[in-house]
Amino acid sequence: MKKTPFGLHAPQCGCSPELNMNWDETLRLAASIKAGTVAPSALMRRLAAYPKQNALAKTLREIGRLERTLFTLDWISAPALRWRANGGLNKGEARNALARAIFLSDRRLHRVPRGPAALTEGAHLRQLS
């Protein structure tokens, strides 16, 4: 097993050779971000500026794929996580529905009804006041 200067072992998975080859660079990058030496946004700009695909960028993409896979497995196996996320989604949907209803009723108040529908238009709003 390959030992690094940080005392961490390189991963021995069969996922990608880039992950094993660039482990030292990835750890150095993570330590720089954690120490505040480099901002993550500056790092991403620099990686995006390379004309060819950088090996470190490939490694970071592979790590992102692994993280996404782990999250998906957590999502499938944890009903509490799905329940919490669904509650947040429902709260957002209820807020949007309320905003849409207020906006539409406000538009109806400013419109001048015409024709035979003018007698019944807005009757439900007059009952509220």
Q: What is the pLDDT of residues 42-88, one digit of tens each?
A: 988 888 888 777 888 888 888 888 899 998 998 889 888 888 888 88
pLDDT above 90 (res 118): no
Same domain, 49 and 90: no
| Residue 120, domain member (yes or no) | no
What letter would DSSP give residue 8? P
Same domain, 30 and 73: yes
Q: What is the pLDDT of residues 26-55, one digit of tens each?
A: 889 889 999 999 999 998 888 888 877 788
Q: How far is the C-alpha of 70 from the C-alpha of 15, rounded, in Å? A: 13
Same domain, 24 and 52: yes
| Residue 123, domain member (yes or no) | no
The pLDDT assigned to 49 comes to: 86
Kindly calculate the radius of gyration of the chain based on its CA atoms and give it in whole angstroms. Answer: 28
| Residue 92, domain member (yes or no) | yes
Secondary structure tally for the chain: helices H, strands E: 6, 0
| Residue 118, domain member (yes or no) | no
pLDDT above 50 (res 128): no
The number of folded domains in the chain is 2
Same domain, 83 and 70: no
Same domain, 34 and 10: yes
Structural domain containing residue 87: 79-113
pLDDT above 70 (res 7): no
Which range, of 3-7, 15-19, 91-95, 120-124, averages the lowest pLDDT? 3-7
> Residue 18 in contact with residue 58, Cβ under 8 Å?
yes
